[in-house]
């Protein structure tokens, strides 16, 4: 994977208030990053700086390993704050204006509108759109010019449950195209469902960054079940790679080193004549990791 964004020691102050404090972060091609934290944690400040809207007091950032030089912004699509379009123009007309601004005239606008489920309203004035439809049109606008990276600031903010699901599905579909996505959010559930990686900020400080479900530890967790858990436990405690075995809700939870597979656990049980009734790799809940970090840094 190539490096898309490199942030080193990024800091920002507003008077005596530290909005961002020595942030380090590396984003690689094709990753979907969630910048997660409560209001005032530095999420929007981070996005503003890397988009060139705000000036940092210290630190550096670079896009695409410098290959595009000062033209790197042409390879990024972004939405910050509320989408702005001409209220009396329809979706196609608004997107064509953005094409003109970006000097990109070969975009498949109908395909973009189909992607965000607005084809049936492409001739309707923007002022007639619901909040969710406005947000979906804004997402379509970020695709103009075929950018490599898309940046969204709180893309589901203010939406009802149905609108949140629509935006989530759209972002997942865009991610499946291989686009790199960076989104700021304070909603744990949405970050967990959309993002491959997460950076957790609190009061301008980066608490932890890494793969969703593995930000506290790289170890893997596996749930297993059998008619006799005591016998199974004795066998599994001796398996190389098994760090810890605990019983939870009628099953055993194994903490194992990376590379210790469910197939290996099944093989051990089979050799001992144990029939497993349950075998599943279990990802750490982002909520649990987030609350642990907050408690450790509170």
Residues 89 and 235 in one domain: no
Same structural domain for residues 138 and 90?
A: yes
**Residue at a domain's end among 182, 211, 240:** 211
Q: Number of structural domains, the chain? A: 2
Cβ-count burial of 29 within 10 angstroms (0-12 exposed, 13-18 middle, 19+ buried)?
A: middle
Query: What one-character-per-residue DSSP string does 213-236 give?
Result: T-SS-S-EEEEEE-S-HHHHHHHH
Can you give the CATH number for the domain in which 228 is found? 3.30.70.100
* 297 is a domain residue: no
Categorize the per-residue pLDDT at 89 as very low, low, confident or very high, splitting at 50, 70 and 90: very high
The answer to whether residue 294 is domain-embedded is: no
Give the 3-state secondary structure of residue 71: helix
The tokens describing 49, both together, are 């700086």
In our burial notation (b when 16+ CB lie closer than 10 A, e otherwise), range 148-175 reads bbbbbbbbbbebeeebbebbbebbeebb
Domain boundary among 172, 193, 211: 211
156 and 49 co-located in one domain: yes
Residues 108 and 231 in one domain: no
- Residue-wise pLDDT for 276-297, tens only, equals 999 988 766 677 777 777 777 7
Percent of the chain with pLDDT over 90: 61
* Residue among 294, 240, 290 nearest 265 (CA): 240
Q: What is the pLDDT of residues 119-152, one digit of tens each?
A: 999 999 999 999 999 999 999 999 999 999 999 9
Task: Tell me, yes or no, whether 249 and 142 share the same domain.
Answer: no
From CA 230, how far away is CA 134, in angstroms rounded?
57
Give the mean model confidence (pLDDT) for residues 170-179.
94
Residue 34 predicted with pLDDT over 70: yes
Write the CATH number for 126.
3.40.50.300
90 and 237 together in one domain: no
**Is 73 inside a domain boundary?**
yes
Domain stops at, among 192, 211, 230: 211
Query: Which domain covers residue 49, as residue numbers?
Result: 3-211
The pLDDT assigned to 88 comes to 96
- Shared-domain flag, residues 155 and 272: no
Let me know whether 254 and 155 are in one domain: no
Residues 46 and 90 in one domain: yes
**Per-chain mean pLDDT for the chain:** 90
Evaluate whether residue 288 is within a structural domain. no
The pLDDT, as a whole number, for residue 255 is 84
Whether 117 has a pLDDT exceeding 70, the answer reads yes
Residue 118 and residue 36 share a domain:
yes
181 plus 225 within the same structural domain: no
* Residues 231, 232, 237, 240, CA torsion sign: positive
Residue 104 shares a structural domain with residue 190: yes
Residue 206 lies in a domain: yes
């Amino acid at each position: 994977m190539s490096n898309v964004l490199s942030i080193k020691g990024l800091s920002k102050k507003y008077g005596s208030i530290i909005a961002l404090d020595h942030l380090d972060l590396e984003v690689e091609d094709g990753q979907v990053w969630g910048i997660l934290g409560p209001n005032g944690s530095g999420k929007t400040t981070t996005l503003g700086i890397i988009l060139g809207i705000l000036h940092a007091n210290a630190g550096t950032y670079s896009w695409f390993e410098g290959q595009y030089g000062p033209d790197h912004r042409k390879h990024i699509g972004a939405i910050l704050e509320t989408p702005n379009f001409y209220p009396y123009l329809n979706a196609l007309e608004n997107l064509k204006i953005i094409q003109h601004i970006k000097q990109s005239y070969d975009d498949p606008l109908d395909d973009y509108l189909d992607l965000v489920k607005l084809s049936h309203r492409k001739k309707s004035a923007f002022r007639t759109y619901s909040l969710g439809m406005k947000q979906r049109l804004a997402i379509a606008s970020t695709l103009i010019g075929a950018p490599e990276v898309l940046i969204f600031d709180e893309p589901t903010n203010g939406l009802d449950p149905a609108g949140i699901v629509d935006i989530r599905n759209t972002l997942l579909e865009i991610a499946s195209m291989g686009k790199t996505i960076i989104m700021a959010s304070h909603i744990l559930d949405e970050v967990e469902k959309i993002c491959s990686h997460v950076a957790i900020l609190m009061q301008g400080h980066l608490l932890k960054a890494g793969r969703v479900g593995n930000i506290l530890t790289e170890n893997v967790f596996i749930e297993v079940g059998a008619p006799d858990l005591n016998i199974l436990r004795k066998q599994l405690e001796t398996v190389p790679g098994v760090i810890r075995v605990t019983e939870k809700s009628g099953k055993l939870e194994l903490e194992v080193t990376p590379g210790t597979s469910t197939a290996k656990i099944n093989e051990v049980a089979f050799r001992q004549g144990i029939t497993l009734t349950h075998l599943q790799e279990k990802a750490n809940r982002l909520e649990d990791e987030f609350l642990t970090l907050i408690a450790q840094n509170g």
